[in-house]
Amino acid sequence: MEIFSFLAEHIEMVYIVILSIFVGVELIEKVPAVLHTPLMSGANAIHGVVIVGAIIVMLHIDVNNTLGMILGFLAVILGTLNVVGGFVVTDRMLEMFGKKKKK
Amino acid sequence: MNTLLILSYLIGSVTFVVGLKMLSHPDTARKGNLVAAFGMLVSILATIFLYGHHGEDYSTKLIWIFGGIAVGTIAGWITAKRVEMTKMPELVCLFNGMGGACAALIGLMEYGANLGNTMSLATIVAGMIIGSISFSGSIVAFLKLNGTMNKPIRLPYYNIINSIVMLGLAAMSVWVVMTGQPESMAYALFGVAVIYGLLFVFPIGGADMPVVISLLNSFTGLAAAFGGFLYDNQVMLTGGILVGSAGTILTLAMCKAMNRPLSNVIFGAFGGGASGPAQDIEGSIKDISIYDTAVLCNYANKVTIVPGYGLAVAQAQHIIHELEKTLEANGVEVKYAIHPVAGRMPGHMNVLLAESNVAYEKLVEMDDINPEFPNTDVVIVVGANDVVNPAAKNDPASPIFGMPILDVEQAKHIIVNKRSMNAGYAGIDNHLFYNPKTSMLFGDAKDVLTKLVAELKAM
């Protein structure tokens, strides 16, 4: 079966997936409801890591492939929006929490 | 792969885990966000400069890549900085959609290059489809949150239609991957997935959008993880899977706060699908003037404020803090009762009140404040409705039956500030307004509260 040989070839990745699932579950389970929104927003910024994929595509695509270059350029913009917007919004939310701490 | 690149990805992965961990504690949350952002920066720069495979036109590509990053950074930064705190949920939703679209585009571009390799195609198609659903679903969720699309759209038999489209999409993907269809079929799949995303969110009511956003958030995480598989890229894989699993848990936690199973949110229509006739409402509505409210509050020992999203819409979070300070100056004990889903997202109300400098200790969570209501003289409900609706406790026919609520009925006096008698976000009637202890203070929250503060100061 192709799928088994694929998994065997990528066994390290499979381990990463399984362990990451547990880490994700473990990290979130004891979060107070107050932090749900910032946490969702922070997680939202982290999946912006998909921009790494967009950059990789851009790096190995042929420059003369105009459609590809345009799509890649768009993907980089969208990914950056996700990353930068995500982290900045989260920071703004958490800034509010910090302010009242000082009082 | 370059050693330095591997090291950078390791740094990225570790910062994501540490960042998420720190984000889940109030004291370290802000630093946690910065830690994750730093890891992201390292991963992105490392990919640009160390990845290799860049052929002869590296410099041209660099210009395009940095151009894209510059555009995205400026646009993202400005939007995120300028948006009002009340619009936060919409924005998170929009950024999530961008990530989904990014994943979908990667899939479209990679498809042609990987024809002939079934497993790669499967990974690409899976990432592309999930990304597309997340993208179009987020756009609908965004429109619903900002009010452009404020009614749930339900085609007849929408559950059946959606299931058919979903099965069709799955069958089509398997066929495309197994038979290695030409690139045009990838675009077709993309189109169908976008349509499915729309159909998926259309029937879900606005009140459930936080759950939907959280779910779509984990979808995008999953799409990023598929990208990680495709490129053997550890940082995409860890980041994506972390968000995927954390997002799923968060989604379930939100459902729990509303006491509704996830399947009910997705397949059960909120506010409309209720079975049985609604209970008849007896009694009448009693008005109260601003002056009388001021007198009532001024001579009370204990006042509890129940803020809802209406408060945020009216931009009244600053004036409510003013009201609290004025009352405290007159010797009244004031607290805020925060329902877990007050606002548009769990914790949203805390963020809004924190913005107007309300002290953290004054925000009391539902389970802690509920036993205190019998000793409370006056409860002021501002712009909240469903979270104080007694139907959740005693009307099994109500769509919100079973949702934990704030027991404001136990208090001696209840004053409800509302703009009009319109139903709440869930679109259902509220018996609380007809309670003999309840007085209605109609008007715009900001307007009414400003006048109330002025009256109190004059006393």
Model confidence pLDDT, tens digit, residues B147-179: 777 666 666 777 888 889 999 999 999 999 999
Helices (H), B24-87: 29-50, 58-82
Q: What is the distance between the alpha carbons of residues B291 and B303, in angstroms, rounded to a whole number?
A: 16
Q: What is the distance between the alpha carbons of residues B83 and B316, in angstroms, rounded to a whole number?
A: 17
Q: What is the distance between the alpha carbons of residues B227 and B230, in angstroms, rounded to a whole number?
A: 5
Claim to verify: residue B369 and residue B421 sit in the same structural domain: yes
pLDDT at B152: 65
pLDDT at B197: 94
A32-70 residue pLDDT tens: 777 788 888 999 999 999 999 999 999 988 888 888 899
Rg of chain A in Å (alpha carbons): 19
Claim to verify: residue B188 and residue B325 sit in the same structural domain: no
Claim to verify: residue B302 and residue B440 sit in the same structural domain: yes
Between A19 and B268, residue with greater pLDDT: A19
- Residues of chain B found within 8 Å of residue A28, distances taken between Cβ atoms: 20, 24, 245-246, 249-250, 253
Claim to verify: residue A17 and residue A46 sit in the same structural domain: no
Q: How far is CA B287 from CA B234, B272, B436, B440, B442, in A?
A: 62, 30, 11, 5, 8
Q: What is the distance between the alpha carbons of residues B278 and B346, in angstroms, rounded to a whole number?
A: 28
Q: Residue B173 falls within a domain, yes or no?
A: yes
Q: What's the CATH number where B317 sits?
A: 3.40.50.1220
Q: What is the distance between the alpha carbons of residues B413 and A72, in angstroms, rounded to a whole number?
A: 61
Name which of A73, A42, A102 is nearest B33 in CA terms.
Answer: A42
Q: How close B114 comes to chain A (CA, Å)?
A: 12
State whether B103 and A99 contact (CB < 8 Å): no
Q: What is the distance between the alpha carbons of residues B384 and B403, in angstroms, rounded to a whole number?
A: 15
Claim to verify: residue B195 and residue B300 sit in the same structural domain: no
Helix (H, G, I), strand (E, B) or coil at B24: coil
Q: Residue B138 falls within a domain, yes or no?
A: yes
Q: Contact, A72 vs A50, CB < 8 A?
A: no
Full domain range(s) for residue A70: 33-102
Claim to verify: residue A46 and residue A81 sit in the same structural domain: yes
Structure tokens at B231: 């490129």
Asked if A14 is an interface residue toward chain B (Cβ–Cβ < 8 A), one would say no
Type of residue found at B274: A
pLDDT at A99: 54
Token pair 């909120």 is at which residue? B270
Helix A11-28 vs helix B234-257: angle between axes, to the nearest 10 degrees? 30
Q: What is the ipTM of this complex?
A: 0.91
Q: How close A65 comes to chain B (CA, Å)?
A: 10
pLDDT along chain B (459 residues), means of 10: 89 94 87 95 94 78 93 95 85 94 94 88 94 95 82 73 91 92 91 94 80 92 93 92 91 79 71 43 77 89 88 83 90 88 75 82 86 91 85 77 84 86 63 86 88 88
Full domain range(s) for residue B372: 290-458
- Residues of chain B found within 8 Å of residue A30, distances taken between Cβ atoms: 24
Helix (H, G, I), strand (E, B) or coil at B305: strand
Name which of B306, B455, B457 is nearest B376 in CA terms.
Answer: B306
Residue in B closest to A27 by C-alpha: B21
Q: Residue B58 falls within a domain, yes or no?
A: no
Q: Residue B64 falls within a domain, yes or no?
A: no
Rg of chain B in Å (alpha carbons): 25
Name which of B424, B416, B327 is nearest B385 in CA terms.
Answer: B424
Q: How close B404 comes to chain A (CA, Å)?
A: 14
Q: Contact, B445 vs B380, CB < 8 A?
A: no
Q: Which residues, 6+ apart, have CB-to-CB distance to B424 below 8 Å?
A: B385, B386, B389, B430
Q: What is the distance between the alpha carbons of residues B368 and B264, in angstroms, rounded to a whole number?
A: 28
Asked if A60 is an interface residue toward chain B (Cβ–Cβ < 8 A), one would say yes
Residue B154: other Cβ atoms inside 10 A: 16
Q: How far is CA B180 from CA A30, B120, B169, B183, B186, in A?
A: 45, 11, 16, 9, 10
Claim to verify: residue B218 and residue B302 sit in the same structural domain: no
Helix (H, G, I), strand (E, B) or coil at B365: strand
Claim to verify: residue A42 and residue A79 sit in the same structural domain: yes
Q: How close A71 comes to chain B (CA, Å)?
A: 6
Indicate the DSSP class of residue B280: P
B84-93 residue pLDDT tens: 877 888 899 9
Helix (H, G, I), strand (E, B) or coil at B270: coil
Claim to verify: residue B394 and residue B306 sit in the same structural domain: yes
Structure tokens at A6: 């694929």
Token pair 């910062």 is at which residue? B15
Name which of A72, A6, A102, A84 is nearest A48 in CA terms.
Answer: A84
Q: Residue B248 falls within a domain, yes or no?
A: yes
Helix (H, G, I), strand (E, B) or coil at B414: strand
Total number of domains constituting chain B: 2
Claim to verify: residue B211 and residue B112 sit in the same structural domain: yes
Claim to verify: residue B222 and residue B122 sit in the same structural domain: yes
Asked if A29 is an interface residue toward chain B (Cβ–Cβ < 8 A), one would say yes
Q: Side by side, which strands form the sheet with B438-442? A: B363-365, B333-338, B302-307, B378-382, B413-418, B438-442
- Residues of chain B found within 8 Å of residue A51, distances taken between Cβ atoms: 44, 102
Claim to verify: residue A23 and residue A37 sit in the same structural domain: no
Total number of domains constituting chain A: 2
- Residues of chain B found within 8 Å of residue A46, distances taken between Cβ atoms: 16, 19-20, 36, 40, 221, 239, 242-243
Claim to verify: residue A26 and residue A37 sit in the same structural domain: no
Residue in A closest to B85 by C-alpha: A93
Claim to verify: residue B317 and residue B222 sit in the same structural domain: no
Test the A interface: residue of B102, B184, B237 with most A CBs within 10 Å:
B102
Q: How far is CA B194 from CA A9, B132, B187, in A?
A: 32, 5, 11
pLDDT at B41: 96
- Residues of chain B found within 8 Å of residue A13, distances taken between Cβ atoms: 228-229, 232, 234, 237
Q: What is the distance between the alpha carbons of residues A93 and A87, in angstroms, rounded to a whole number?
A: 10
Backbone φ and ψ for B302, nearest 5 degrees, come out as: -135, 120
Claim to verify: residue A39 and residue A26 sit in the same structural domain: no
Q: Contact, B206 vs B148, CB < 8 A?
A: no
State whether B102 and A71 contact (CB < 8 Å): no
Q: Which residues of B are catalytic?
A: 386
State whether A84 and B103 contact (CB < 8 Å): no
Claim to verify: residue A22 and residue A51 sit in the same structural domain: no
Size of interface A-B (CB pairs under 8 A): 375
- Residues of chain A found within 8 Å of residue B363, distances taken between Cβ atoms: 34
Q: What is the mean pLDDT of residues A19-40?
A: 82
Q: Contact, B165 vs B195, CB < 8 A?
A: yes
Residue in B closest to A102 by C-alpha: B359
Claim to verify: residue A93 and residue A55 sit in the same structural domain: yes
Q: Residue B70 falls within a domain, yes or no?
A: no
Chain centroid to CA B232: 32
Backbone φ and ψ for B304, nearest 5 degrees, come out as: -120, 130
Q: What is the distance between the alpha carbons of residues B426 and B430, in angstroms, rounded to a whole number?
A: 11
Residues in chain B: 459
Claim to verify: residue B232 and residue B343 sit in the same structural domain: no
Q: Which of A24, A37, A52 sits opposite B236 (nearest CB)?
A: A52
pLDDT at B359: 83
What is chain A's percent helix, strand, coil content, to nearest 5? 90, 0, 10
Claim to verify: residue B260 and residue B321 sit in the same structural domain: no
Helix (H, G, I), strand (E, B) or coil at A90: helix
Backbone φ and ψ for B388, nearest 5 degrees, come out as: -120, 15
State whether A91 and B30 contact (CB < 8 Å): yes
Structure tokens at A78: 């969208």
Claim to verify: residue B318 and residue B347 sit in the same structural domain: yes
